[in-house]
Amino acid sequence: SLDHYTARTEGQVLRFKVKTANTGASTINDGVGVVALVGGAHSALQGGELIVNGDAWIQWNTSIGGGSYILLFCTGAPEQVAPATQPGHAVNAGQIQAQSLSAFTTGGTAPAFTLTPVPAITAYAANQRFQVTFNAAGTTPTLNVSGLGAKNLKQYTATGAKIAAIIASGQTSDVVYDGTDLVVLDQLPNSVGVTPAQFDNSTNLATTQFVQGVGLQFSSSVLASANLTLTAASHAGAVIIGNSSSAINVTLPLISTMPVKTAIKFWNYSAGTMTLVASGSDSIYLPASVTTFPLPTGAFITLVSSGAGAWFAVDMSGLGVGQAWQNMGGGRVVSTSYANASGRPISVSYNGQSSSGGATYTAVVAGNTIINTSQAAATTNFNIAFIVPPGATYSITQSSGTSTSWWELR
């Protein structure tokens, strides 16, 4: 208080050294009585505007709150500042925290949005930035700020290319002017996506359009012109093409190194047989279990990893592809069982001649009698033909007469 002060006059200034800091709204006793002490924005003090040992200047104003002292300043203390309304005004902490000078909602009709910031900007300048809430959804949008003319709204792709922004209703984003366009910095996730060039094998994300455009592709194409050992890292998902005039072996990766469902395709183009060899204790299921599988010229097979010791043959050449008719007469005897260990279906054609009393002949495949017929006429030629699945046993019996030929397509 100021005990010697007896009257107040408009604009009267008092100066004093602060004894006690304020912690909120404050009053002062100037000797005439206790009255409000407000800040430069004509609002109650909030705390900290007066600090111990600071030099304070206050001025009487009869029009504020029925008469109040206004704190013009206190050395060493923050000042109360009225909200800025023009570009050259000082801003207060409340405006910054609320982004009231930079956060606005658009107007206009999508996709031609408008923005009316307060204070208005007088010209576009690089690095101007606003937080914008969009009032509607829109594609290929524009934004006209302070009536200065529409600018394209853009966003960046993962490759750094600028494309038209995609806007959702109610979306809030930071928008910055880069000197050419207004760029949405925190854009929506790009569910539409940018389609890479056809056959692109970079780290770009693939859209459904890209996938459909390239169709089925292998991870790589490998020509096998000599013995070859495959690895999961280099050959998973690949197509291996036999390209040797002489026989070669291609050793498969260990199943334990191959992810489940991973496939490798094989096709033999050249004259030399390409034999697939399973590694370690792995097997190839045709579905008959084998550890090697020959691919003659023109034959193919697709193997899929089970992840645990077995390759599944999910696709292979049909009967006759990469096979040839072979005369087995010197190595086949009737009434003897043989196994089809070729890994592929084979076709058997047997020719015989009945005796003077006729003959009965049968064919048994995998324990099943598939042919059982008679030739009553004497010394008459006959033929039986059948297919033997991979891994199955087969035999032919003839009650009498002679065997004239035994051919197999294998």
The CA angle 29-35-39, to the nearest 5 degrees, is 105
Residues 28-87 have pLDDT tens digits of: 999 899 999 999 999 999 999 999 999 999 999 999 999 999 999 999 999 998 887 787
* Residue 205 pLDDT exceeds 90: no
Token pair of 208 as six digits: 């459904």
How many other CB atoms are found less than 10 A from the CB of residue 23?
11
pTM of the model: 0.48
CA 238 to the chain's CA centroid: 21
**Residue 10 DSSP class:** T
Tokens 């609002």 found at: 43
pLDDT for res 356? 87
Cα torsion 241, 266, 324, 351 to 10°: value is 180
Which segments of the chain belong to CATH 2.60.120.640?
Answer: 213-316
Contact, 340 vs 346, CB < 8 A? yes
Listing from the earlier edge strand, what are the strands of the sheet with 402-409? 325-327, 402-409, 346-353, 381-388
In the three-class reduction of DSSP (H, G, I as helix; E, B as strand; rest coil), residue 81 is classed as: coil
Q: Does domain 213-316 bear CATH number 2.60.120.640?
A: yes
Q: Going by C-beta distance under 8 Å and a sequence separation of 6 or more, which residues neighbour residue 209?
A: 195
Window from 48-57, 143-152, 211-220, 245-254 with minimum mean pLDDT: 211-220
pLDDT for res 192? 63
Strand-pair category, 283-285 with 325-327: unpaired
Say how many residues make up the chain: 410
Which segments of the chain belong to CATH 2.60.120.40?
Answer: 325-409
In the three-class reduction of DSSP (H, G, I as helix; E, B as strand; rest coil), residue 121 is classed as: coil
Mean pLDDT for 23-32 is 94
What is the assigned CATH class of domain 325-409? mainly beta
pLDDT for res 4? 65
Contact, 141 vs 169, CB < 8 A? no
* Residue 2 pLDDT exceeds 70: no
Identify which of 148, 141, 145, 155 has the alpha carbon closest to the alpha carbon of residue 112.
141
Which letter, b or e, does each residue of 264-278 get, where b requires 16 or more Cβ atoms within 10 Å of its Cβ?
A: bbbbbbbebbbbbbb
Residues 130-188 have pLDDT tens digits of: 999 999 999 999 999 999 999 999 999 877 889 999 999 999 999 999 999 999 998 77
Residues 255-310 have pLDDT tens digits of: 999 999 999 999 999 999 999 999 999 999 987 889 999 999 999 999 999 999 99
In the three-class reduction of DSSP (H, G, I as helix; E, B as strand; rest coil), residue 70 is classed as: strand
Q: Mean of the per-residue pLDDT values for the chain?
A: 90
Tell me whether residue 132 is exposed, middle or buried, using C-beta atoms within 10 angstroms of its C-beta: 0 to 12, 13 to 18, 19 or more.
Answer: buried
Question: In sequence order, which ranges of 42-187 are alpha helices (DSSP H)?
Answer: 93-98
How many other CB atoms are found less than 10 A from the CB of residue 237?
14
Q: What's the CA gap between 401 and 353, in Å, rounded?
A: 6
Token pair of 215 as six digits: 């169709």
Token pair of 195 as six digits: 């389609």
pLDDT for res 96? 67
pLDDT for res 390? 84
Contact, 50 vs 44, CB < 8 A? no
**Residue 322 DSSP class:** T
Window from 47-61, 181-195, 242-256, 326-340 with minimum mean pLDDT: 181-195
* Residue 109 pLDDT exceeds 60: yes
